[in-house]
Amino acid sequence: MQFQWYPGHMTKARRAMQEDLKLIDVIVELVDARIPFSSKNPDIDQMANGKARIILLNKSDLADPECTKEWESYYEEKGFLVTTVNSKSGAGIRIVQDKIREACREKTERDRKRGILNRPVRAMIVGIPNVGKSTFINSFAKKACTKTGNKPGVTKGKQWIRFNKNVELLDTPGILWPKFEEQSVGLRLAFIGSIKEELYQIYELAALLLEFLNREYAGLTEEFYQIETKEGSAFQLEAIAKKRGCIKAGGKLDMDQAAKYLLDDFRAGRLGRISLETPMGDMDV
């Protein structure tokens, strides 16, 4: 399956983000815990220009906990501060505040030596579309004390969400674009629903997901759909179509509808907590 991506319209977003980056002390980058590599845009590393960095493995409720632990260690070894969150339920949000403070400890210490006291640490959320940036900011705002209005000077026109007197978060996220030179990265993004449907064949995508699930999570599909164990994604999709009553006018099985059921069940976490890649690179799609 071939994917293409035209990042032309991202140029403006990139420029806006570069301006916002000047206002902040720490970059909080959201990635999808099911694909912490494929949902991360490596270009942010150059744009970050030495700023403190935090990675949040978001949607951790949907990912395989064992794999998520491996990813935490992987990014920690690369020098990031890392934590897992579920922005939808709010789980883990408070820990983010501690991580932000930890990331800026040196800076706060420098400020203190210069006699600057209680200057809040400023953070900004970045990530590719659909990774959960707005959901995170909403959850953060709910737990925060105040929303600060426009302030004079460099922050003119910007809204900050104040967690306490120490931490502030810019209320607009920086949007990164998915980047994939490798088709496997594009495929993983399509599995989680981060690529427009027009760009792929739904049946083909579902068949590839089934092949992955059969290899890495054997027996799971059969158990969930209560279908017979038999080799082959075509057979399984047909069995799902029959079970779910996917019938077209004229009585033929609607295989695209069955494919959609499978993808929706996977994306919503109904099939269970599933990760699509490990830091070892030993999960093929």
Chain residues binding ligand G4P by CB under 6 A are: 58-59, 61-62, 86-88, 127, 129-135
When CB distances to ligand G4P are compared, the closest residue is 132
* H helix intervals, the chain: 10-21, 44-48, 65-77, 93-103, 105-113, 133-143, 183-191, 202-216, 220-225, 233-243, 255-267
Instruction: For the CB of residue 267, give the shortest distance to ligand G4P in the complex, in Å.
Output: 8
CB of 62 to ligand G4P, least distance (A): 5
Query: What's the start-to-end Cα distance of the chain, in Å?
Result: 12
Query: 62 vs 190, which CB is nearer to ligand G4P?
Result: 62
Q: Which amino acid is at 179?
A: K
Residue 117 near residue 19 (C-beta atoms within 8 A): no
Residue 268 CB, nearest distance to ligand G4P (Å)?
8
Place of tokens 């951790």: 60
CB-nearer residue toward ligand G4P: 33 or 103? 33
Cβ atoms of 25 and 111 closer than 8 Å: no
Nearer to ligand G4P, 30 or 207 (CB): 30
Q: Provide the 8-state DSSP code for 175.
A: E
Nearer of residues 120 and 132 to ligand G4P, judged by Cβ: 132
Q: Which of 268, 203, 187 is nearest to 241 (CA)?
A: 203
Q: Residue 86 CB, nearest distance to ligand G4P (Å)? A: 4
- Tell me the closest approach of the beta carbon of residue 130 to ligand G4P, in angstroms: 5
The two structure tokens encoding residue 252: 């033929």
Cβ count near 184 (within 10 Å): 16
How far is 37 from 42, CA to CA, in rounded Å?
Answer: 9
Residue number, 37 or 236, with CB nearest to ligand G4P: 37
CB 151 within 8 A of CB 161: no
Between 92 and 120, whose beta carbon lies closer to ligand G4P?
92
Q: Specify the 3-state DSSP secondary structure of 37.
A: coil
Minimum distance from residue 174 beta carbon to ligand G4P (Å): 10
Q: Least distance from C-beta 171 to ligand G4P, angstroms?
A: 12
- In the complex with ligand G4P, the residue whose CB is nearer, 161 or 241, is 161
